[in-house]
Chain A
Amino acid sequence: MASHAMTGASHREPNYLEYKGKHTGILAWILSTDHKRIGIMYLVVLTAFFLLGVTLGFFMRLEQLYLDKSVSLMTAATYNAIFTLHGVTMIFLVVVPGIPATLGNFMLPLMLGAKDVSFPRLNLLSWWLYVVGALIIFASLFSGGGLPDAGWTFYAPYSVRTATNIPLAVFGVFILGFSSILTGLNFVTTMHRMRAPGMSWFRMPLFCWSLYATGWIQVLATPILGITMLLVFAERLLNIGIFDPSLGGDPILYQHLFWIYSHPAVYIMILPGMGVISEILPTFSRRTIFGYKAITYSTLAIALAGSLVWGHHMFTTGQSWYANFVFSLLTFLVGIPTAIKVFNWVATLYKGSIRIEAPLLYAVGFIFLFSIGGFTGIMLGILNVDIHLHDTYFVVAHFHYVVFGGTMMALFAGIHYWWPKMTGKMYNKKWAISGWAVMFIGFNLLYFTMFIMGYEGMPRRYYGHLEQFHQAHRIATYGSWVLITGILMMVATLISSLRNGEPAADNPWGGSTLEWSIAGLPPLLNFDEIPEVTEDPYTYNPEPEVAHE
């Protein structure tokens, strides 16, 4: 198309931001089926939700500064609504779609050497479902008898009893589930059908592998969430007993159904993060990843075994001894592939030629924080220890180390890593690194304190606390201020790079995967010519004598 050719000097295709299609203005975005634009749209909306979730968390922490509830900021009902919204926003709108929807959408076809995902229009539909689901959830706030206050887990029978508008919130989650399923389906198909010639399965970059495993969990586990939410919905509207014991239902059944989805969802959240880390480490070490196959197989093992451990959320419910036995055992087994990954990552730094840049620091920070999340997960898998720690701040700290210290830090790492390819701009390195450092300190102040409180017996979802916990609560709150400062520094650094940043080089970090082979910002169809893959990923130093050990 001659009309697309730029001025005489350059004959390259217009990049995805310059490209002019049927629509202009905002429509050129919200009706675009370009995986790159969709990725950016997810990133924008998700950032907004993340900042909303952070704000809610900020107020929860603030409330904990008050021991005397007669003079505090909010009522118990408000606090309960805030933690519910914080959880729903962060889990369903931020962390679950998180990396696949943003970085995955943008990078997967580029890394595979493909022109787009398999079903571009379905991809756009996923984004729309995501936005509509979110709007429905927010609509539930302003309708019905008050803010939803059942916690993000919506445990029955409380969720059936409370007068607040749970059905609408639950319906929103139901819609979000479809968005997730369609994304998973799309990605899995793309990887089966659209790898560049020469890219065998075991030449796929590890980030793609992680999206592959994640895609399967999304497709297989999310329908259960949908069914569960539909049943809660039906119970409320038709007044039939499914989960509510006063109508003859079984509340434990709800927990099973909920966790059959929500535990694998933890792996939907974390696996793509692990994939991002597996990209960053080789690039900044200028060497191949240590144990490519070990990492791949452990990704698949985590996806598989992780789907069978949901009952570890229910050790105290009175479920049978055998169930507890099996769920505890399987939980430990998930720890093994996780450990394998961590060791392989660390070994990847060995004999590298390391460049310290913001993405690498985020990645290393991830390994540290995620390891703490993993170790404390092991502790929670121990039956008698979990009896004590279940439903305390220890659990709260554990999952924040995993999902925030893990997934979100990996998302930040990936954003810093691919920012030049997504925006064409470089951010200020010093500010990026300072943001990371402040965040890292604040994070540990906030959440490590919660481990200690939890072990001492501070239950979660408490509006107030006993005096013995007050000092720790104060430290955690101060930590939250430091953490938020770090987050704002990061956001400001990235946004200001859009205006003031230096133009990025084609391959600023010296990455070896296909996305870096594209000159400048990717054009609409990514590659002028589909590349041919002739070697393993991360082949930086192909001297024959060290190729295999």
Chain B
Amino acid sequence: MGAGNFATQVDNTFLIVLAISVITLIGITIAMIWFMYRYHHTRHEQAKDIHGHLGLEVAWTVIPTILVLSMFYFGMEGYSEMRTIPEDAFEIQATGRMWSWVFEYENGIQDTALRVPLNRPIHMKLVSNDVIHSLYIPAFRIKKDVVPNVDNRMWFAADEPGYFKDAIACAEYCGDSHWNMYADLDVLPQAEFDAWYKSKGEEFAALAQPAAPGEASKVGLRGPMLFTLKGCNACHSVDGSPLVGPTLKGIFGKEEEVVLADGSSKMITVDEEYLIRSIKEPDAEKVKGFENSIMVAQPLTETELAEIVAYLKTL
């Protein structure tokens, strides 16, 4: 999937240090084996007490010092480039949450895959509403932690077009499906990207508008999409299989037992009010059997909440 703009430099620094390490390690190993053979007591009866050698001590202090300081310098150089985000970079916000990524663009597009223009510096603004995640693109050799309440940023430029599945990972342990928090990267030539950006942007803008008088209500239209974009599908299936959270198949009107914050439990029938509460304040009433699993409330607009609830009713 190409190497991005940093990989060559990181790899080269790594390879230089690797070469120095391998040579030194071979030296040490050969010396040890040779000494053990040459000075084995059958060949060398009388040992010699050599207490040290100033010249050698100085040599193996000074040479490593020079080596590590130059390694430090190269690392610093490369890192300075990583942290200096170009002015004209294209900004995208990445939100990490248990356990999926969503990418938001300035014109309102939201997507679970990261779509970027080719060869253009991309400025990622990193947001988390729950625990720490870390956005990691191994092929590009970059990562940055996504920390709640911390304004972290990173940048890169993709240098090969194509759709790269599972190119983005989460590198900071964040719970059960941390291992599965992969997202795809889609690199498009600038013209193609622009076309997508424009048409998709209009689609999102239209959906965000309240329905015009006389027009059929939009509520329910975006439900399935929001269910994915807001990350609900990471923990809830709609086909009956249990994930980290209970399945939402047939949720509306269902009778079930919930556990309250004080530990007592009661039977309820799922209605609209309950659905809203369990989305906005997940800890208020927890489904029996899932008391110990986490759900973190996602920031949702009123319209989005209404659309999701409308969708849940249809399941």
Contact = CB atoms under 8 A, between A and B. Distances in A.
Contacts of B77: 384
Contact of A387 (B32, B46, B79, B149): B79
Given A76-B176, A384-B9, A385-B10, A541 B48 contact: yes
Nearest to B139: A457
B214 to A, nearest CB: 43
B299 interface: no
Interface of B is mostly: mixed
A335 B64 contact: yes
Given A76-B176, A367-B28, A145 B145 contact: no
A347 B50 CA distance: 9
Interface in A365-395: 367-368, 371-372, 375-376, 378-379, 381-388, 390-392
Nearest to A298: B61
A346 B68 contact: no
A286 B41 contact: yes
Contacts of A349: 31-32, 35-36, 39
Nearest to B81: A384
Interface stretch (A92-100, A172-180, A315-323): A315-323
Nearest to A83: B173
B47 interface: yes
Contacts, number: 284
Contact of A354 (B39, B46, B57): B39
Interface string A512-549: 00000000000000000000000000111111001111
Contact of A332 (B45, B48, B69): B69
Contacts of A346: 28, 31-32, 35
A353 B171 contact: no
B52 A459 contact: no
Given A76-B176, A149-B175, A343-B60, A352 B291 contact: no
B50 A382 contact: no
B280 interface: no
B254 interface: no
Nearest to B129: A246
B68 A335 contact: yes
Contacts of A371: 24-25, 28
Contacts of A456: 138
Nearest to B53: A549
Given A386-B75, A547-B49, 12 more contacts: A161-B131, A245-B148, A291-B53, A292-B52, A343-B60, A354-B35, A354-B40, A354-B44, A355-B41, A364-B32, A382-B72, A387-B10
17 contacts: A161-B131, A163-B294, A164-B292, A287-B47, A288-B51, A328-B76, A332-B72, A351-B47, A364-B32, A368-B32, A390-B143, A459-B170, A464-B179, A466-B166, A546-B48, A547-B49, A549-B50
Interface of B: 6, 9-10, 13-14, 17-18, 21, 24-25, 28-29, 31-32, 35-36, 39-41, 44-53, 56-57, 60-61, 64-65, 68-69, 71-72, 74-79, 81-83, 130-132, 134, 136, 138-139, 141-145, 147-152, 166, 169-180, 182, 291-294, 296
